[in-house]
Amino acid sequence: MGQNRRVVVTGLGLITALGLDLNESWDGLVNGISGVTSVEKIDVSKLSCRIAAQINDFQPKDFIDFKASKRMDRFTQFAVKSSRDAIADSGLVIDDSNSHRVGVLIGSGVGGLGALEKQHTRLLDKGADKVSPFIIPMMISNMAAAHVSITSGAKGPVSATSTACAAGSNAIGDSFEIIKRGQADVMIAGGSEAAITQVGMSGFSNMNAMSSRNDDPEAASRPFDKDRDGFVMGEGSGMIIVEELERAKARGAKVYCEIFGYGMSGEAFHITALEKSGSNVARCMSLCIEEGDIAKEEVGYINAHGTATPLNDAIETKAIKKCFGEHAYRLKISSTKSMTGHCLGASGAIEAVVSIMVINQNIIPPTINLDNPDPVCDLDYTAKVRQKKNVEVALSNSMGFGGHNVTLGFKKYER
């Protein structure tokens, strides 16, 4: 127990529009492939945005008991799949000897929106007595964590975060702190989202937050570009196995990297917008770096929140300059939302996995579609093409509606 426990990452799981597992998704990311296509499974004909980064060919019956899968919303199915992959990748065996020291913490912005919509339609069409008795345990946003706990056997701390687009990052950061203070030895942590639904698409589109570049889906998500016109929604899940170092070493686990910091700050400003100075985001990054006793000049890469909305990208750029000063111009930055879309509550977890892979592979994924850089976005966003770079320290930024800022810090593991 105590505050000096070092925390490492020993397993990764990823499912995005680019692929159904870590290797497929990473391959798409480093090769600059867009996962954005036209939406055809639901009626979006009246919306200004009719595109999304959708996951196709996903068959839950391939890895979940069929009956159990029918009682899960899609976001929960994604979480079960990516967590199983992460557990397998880590070589972790959960049994009676350790299950009480293994926990689960998974974030989701909106939870089971698809299940809610389906049953609401049933209510209107067929009456109250025809609504599924499973609707509540399908839609509530803690059910990804619950089902991962049930399917894995993890009996340690089991919880969920729901801080909008920062939810996955908060889940990983909270897991880091839980292990540091000795409440668990291992946490299955991440985020999952499946909000490409009638209500999800309609709400964001009618807010004028999403791109209307419907005729060119692959070029629609363009963070930091002068012609950006909003985000493109994605879906998916990112999961990591967060583990106390000595335990990982004792079982001979491979170590992807060490987690060194977790910064949080609030905007106290607006329900959907960042405060324009960027000071709160800059403070969030600084707090993360300070926790790890890292010099700012050691940071080599930032996976930006980079949504491709006009305000977000300009303010995040300003915040990076405020935090890093002249070093901001030496940083490699990328927004992988240009390829995966914005996966809402899962985005921070997906991008944490990407940041960990950057440290592990020494490859920076590009920001695609950055054809005409915005003059106010004048940092190195790794435009269009991946770059080789030895990255010792990486940050991953997330910002959620309501003013939730999170920065996660990762560094190369040194014995």
Residues 201, 274: one domain?
A: no
Evaluate whether 187 touches 145 at the Cβ level (below 8 Å).
no
Q: What is the average per-residue pLDDT within 267-283? A: 97
Domain boundary among 250, 272, 296: 250
In a domain, 255, yes or no: no
Using the Cα atoms of residue 291, residue 14, residue 224 and residue 42 in order, give the sign of their dihedral.
Answer: negative
Range of the domain at 305: 262-411
User: How do residues 160-193 score in pLDDT, each as one tens digit?
Assistant: 999 999 999 999 999 999 999 999 999 999 999 9
Domain boundary among 250, 279, 303: 250
Torsion-angle region of 263 (φ positive above 0: left; ψ -120 to 50: alpha; else: beta): beta
Q: Is the pLDDT of residue 60 over 90?
A: yes
How high is the mean pLDDT of the chain? 97
CATH code for the domain in which residue 380 is found: 3.40.47.10
In a domain, 376, yes or no: yes
Name the strand (E) or helix (H) holding 323: helix 310-324
Instruction: Write the DSSP string, 225-278.
Output: BTT---B-BB-EEEEEEEEEHHHHHHTT----EEEEEEEEEE--S-SS---TT-
User: How do residues 63-89 score in pLDDT, each as one tens digit?
Assistant: 888 888 899 999 999 999 999 999 999
Residues 182, 266: one domain?
A: no
pLDDT band (50, 70, 90) for residue 1: very low
Q: What is the average per-residue pLDDT within 353-362? A: 98
In a domain, 64, yes or no: yes
Orientation angle between helical segments 167-180 and 347-361, nearest 10 degrees: 60
Residues 282, 212: one domain?
A: no
Residues 36, 123: one domain?
A: yes
Catalytic residue numbers read 165, 305, 342
Residues 49, 99: one domain?
A: yes
**β-pairing, 363-364 with 51-53?**
unpaired
pLDDT the model gives residue 3: 58
Distance CA 407, CA 410 (A): 10
Residues 245, 300: one domain?
A: no
Residues 203, 287: one domain?
A: no
In a domain, 257, yes or no: no
Contacts of 254 (CB under 8 A, 6+ apart): 10, 90, 91
Residues 159, 275: one domain?
A: no
pLDDT the model gives residue 304: 98
Report in angstroms the alpha-carbon separations of 338 from 135, 161, 207, 261, 309.
34, 25, 20, 26, 12
Burial (CB count within 10 angstroms: exposed 0-12, middle 13-18, buried 19+), residue 5? middle
Residues 162, 304: one domain?
A: no
Residues 164, 53: one domain?
A: yes
Distance CA 383, CA 225 (A): 10
In a domain, 125, yes or no: yes
Number of structural domains found in the chain: 2
Residues 198, 120: one domain?
A: yes
User: How do residues 293-316 score in pLDDT, each as one tens digit?
Assistant: 999 999 999 999 999 999 999 999
Contacts of 19 (CB under 8 A, 6+ apart): 25, 26, 27, 28
**Starting from the edge strand earliest in sequence, which strands make up the sheet with 404-411, in order?**
158-161, 102-107, 186-193, 236-244, 7-15, 257-266, 404-411, 393-400, 299-303, 332-334
Q: Is 355 helix (H, G, I), strand (E, B) or coil?
A: helix
- Cα maximum dimension of the chain: 64
In this structure, which amino acid lies at residue 100? H
- Establish how many alpha carbons lie within 13 A of residue 28's alpha carbon, considering only the half-sphere containing its beta carbon: 23
User: How do residues 78-127 score in pLDDT, each as one tens digit?
Assistant: 999 999 999 999 999 999 999 999 999 999 999 999 999 999 999 999 99
In a domain, 61, yes or no: yes
pLDDT the model gives residue 67: 87
Residues 109, 172: one domain?
A: yes
Total-model pTM: 0.98
For the chain, what percent of residues have pLDDT higher than 90?
96
What token pair was written down for 288?
């993360």
Q: Is the pLDDT of residue 202 over 80?
A: yes
